[in-house]
Amino acid sequence: MATSHRGPASIEADIEETRERLASTIDELLYRTKPATIAERQSSAAKAFFVDPESGQPKQDNIIKVAGAVVGAIVLLAVIRKIVK
């Protein structure tokens, strides 16, 4: 079994480095799980789905797909409601 000949100063430096990495990781996790950050991330993703981030132009194909799905869902609900009555 090989033994390491590290001094107390080296061990303390390693512990301090590990402590700093852990603190940074915890800060990052707190930031990522903050409700405002999650809401902003989801809002940006939704905007990017409908608007091209580079040109600022609407993505008409995605808008038409969503509008079609909404109209289809409304028609489906109306048909189901009529059948149930």
User: Sorting pLDDT into bands at 50, 70 and 90, what band is 81?
Assistant: very high
Q: Report pLDDT for 41.
A: 92
User: Sorting pLDDT into bands at 50, 70 and 90, what band is 4?
Assistant: low
Tokens of 39: 């809401």
The string of pLDDT tens digits covering residues 15-36 is 999 999 999 999 999 999 999 9
Q: What is the DSSP string of 34-73?
A: -HHHHHHHHHHHHHHHHB-TTT--B-HHHHHHHHHHHHHH
- Which residues, 6 or more positions from 62, have their beta carbon under 8 angstroms from its beta carbon? 49, 50
Question: Is 75 within 8 Å of 67 (Cβ atoms)?
Answer: no
Q: Report pLDDT for 17.
A: 95
Residues 47-64, mean pLDDT to the nearest whole number: 92
Higher pLDDT, 5 or 10: 10
